[in-house]
């Protein structure tokens, strides 16, 4: 994408010279580049829906936004576009770049908010659920001791841990719902928690 748009500068610089036989005209090249940029913008919008923001690695989302910024940085300046295009066509290019830049800026802010929420709410909530599951499993295991001897200290410690995790869950869940706008289902629905569980971070 970057190379295709950068090529436009060279095409426009040589626009006064005759084209090679059979080569696409600068106007045709620009039309193709504009269509490609429009498709890229729409693809990035689909990639950063709330659902996909939740289920994709943060670095992947940031790379997608950077791809768009890289493409925008390679768009020829208006004075170069004006050598080949009509004023109306130049205005259409300007409108597209303004729209894409505004979306990239907004996406960057949303990704910053996502990173903050993952660290302060989402990952701690997943850990609290994991901790609660582990504490309840220890309680169940101890109560099912085939020897018939129940370790009261084990039950006490696991019970205290379970109470602490429930308190954390009660505190974090409203913050999670306020941000995600839906209830917490499981750590598997959160890419940040999947990465942590898999040890990939």
**Nearest to residue 94, comparing CAs of 77, 71, 112, 74?**
77
pLDDT, tens only, 147-200: 777 788 889 999 999 999 999 999 999 999 999 999 999 999 999 999 888 876
pLDDT at 123 over 90: yes
pLDDT for position 22: 62
Q: Averaged over 50-69, what is the pLDDT? A: 91
Distance, in Å, from the CA atom of 95 to the CA atom of 77, rounded to the nearest integer, reads 13
Q: What is residue 160's predicted lDDT score, i.e. its pLDDT?
A: 96
Quote the pLDDT of residue 200.
60
pLDDT band at 13 (very low <50, low <70, confident <90, very high): very low
User: pTM for this one?
Assistant: 0.79
Question: Cα–Cα distances in Å, from 86 out to 1, 27, 82, 133?
Answer: 24, 10, 6, 66
């Amino acid at each position: 994408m970057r190379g295709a748009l950068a090529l436009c500068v060279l095409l426009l610089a040589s626009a006064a010279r005759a084209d090679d036989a059979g080569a696409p005209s600068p106007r045709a090249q620009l039309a193709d580049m504009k269509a490609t940029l429009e498709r890229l913008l729409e693809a990035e919008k689909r990639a950063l829906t709330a659902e996909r923001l939740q289920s994709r690695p943060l670095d992947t989302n940031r790379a997608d936004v950077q791809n768009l910024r890289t493409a925008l940085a390679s768009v020829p300046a208006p004075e170069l576009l004006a050598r080949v295009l009509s004023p109306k066509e130049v205005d259409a290019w300007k409108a597209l770049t303004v729209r894409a830049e505004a979306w990239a800026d907004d996406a960057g802010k949303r990704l910053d908010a996502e990173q903050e929420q993952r660290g302060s709410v989402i990952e701690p909530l997943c850990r609290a659920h994991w901790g609660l599951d582990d504490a309840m499993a220890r309680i169940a295991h101890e109560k099912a001791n085939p020897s018939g001897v129940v370790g009261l200290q084990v039950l006490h410690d696991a019970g205290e841990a379970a109470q602490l995790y429930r308190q954390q869950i009660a505190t974090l869940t409203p913050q999670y719902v306020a941000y995600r706008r839906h209830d917490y289902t499981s750590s598997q629905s959160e890419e940040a928690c999947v990465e942590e569980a898999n040890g990939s971070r």
